[in-house]
Amino acid sequence: MPAFTASAPGKIILFGEHAVVYGQPAIAVPVMQVRARATITPNIRGNSGAVRILAPDIGLDKMLDELDSAHALAAAIEGVAKLLGVTHIPACTLKVSSSIPVASGLGSGAAVSVAVIRALAGYLGKPLPNEQVSALAYEVEKIHHGTPSGIDNTVVTYAQPVYFKKKLPSPAGRGVGGEGIIETFHIAKPFTIIIGDTGIGSPTKTTVDDVRRGWQSEPARYERLFAAIGSITRAARQAIEGGYPGRLGPLMNENHELLGEMGVSSPELERLVQAARAAGALGAKLSGGGGGGNIIALAEAENSETIAAALSAAGAARAIMTRVGDRT
């Protein structure tokens, strides 16, 4: 068998984080400047089923059978094998690398899962359609996040801007499940987003669980917050499809304030948000789970370098510029 490589991009949520877990829409876009890659090479002399896993970024070098079945990489591999009806994987080495910061809100876990799933299915000569790749990645996401929204695996798999709304099976199942209504949509006019990374890891599961506990203790208050974020997200889609990206700035600011009311911001995130706004950003907000991770800022193209420099001066570990809607 020849070697096989697959990759997947990072992602950012523009609008709707946390509320999306409870049935409100969210908008997310791929970040092509950062990627996860998985390469599988055959071990000709190895025994069938002997899979070596190398992940230098996290210092991992183990055989598959040495990993707990709940380990994300093991879950991805075993999920593919089960779906394809493969009982013995030909001896091989799986090498995983990623330029996506871990626990930063950029979808690192989902990107690694998607890359591994695609690489293994391709290596076995049975490539999977996007729907199955996304479904398998969602199952792995449960290990990372407990009750994931499904948006990370969706936007990373399809590598397109996505308007996503989670299906809620019943009122008693709020925040549970992974099937969703997925819509790609037209971006009438590309726009520039600056991503400011705090450099502080904040596993999404932690803040998702915090919000869930808040919702359970104060359901009416949290439902109001979720509904308000849903209205903002729908307005943002209208602005994007209508070719008025400048309208996203005030919507970002409003969305950020609502997330702050949920308690998922932090001093580091607030410092970066304020620095971006002071440098001329049209709007700025935290993106992803919060607690740490990233902020995003809407920028005029000619002012993007200034905003990126301001974020670095305010303590950002790095600033990433991405154009949303460019077909490059």
Q: Among this protein's residues, is 57 annotated catalytic?
A: no
d(CA 258, CA 239): 20
d(CA 51, CA 63): 6
Nearest to 278 by CA among 191, 189, 196, 190: 196
d(CA 269, CA 252): 14
Residues 6+ apart with CB under 8 A from 154: 28, 134, 162, 164, 180, 182
d(CA 276, CA 260): 17
Residue tagged active-site, from 57, 65, 152, 197: 152
For tokens 């210092």, the residue is 59
Residues 6+ apart with CB under 8 A from 88: 48, 49
Which pair of structure tokens corresponds to residue 122? 């391709």
d(CA 308, CA 287): 16
Nearest to 165 by CA among 20, 322, 267, 47: 20
Active site residues: 152
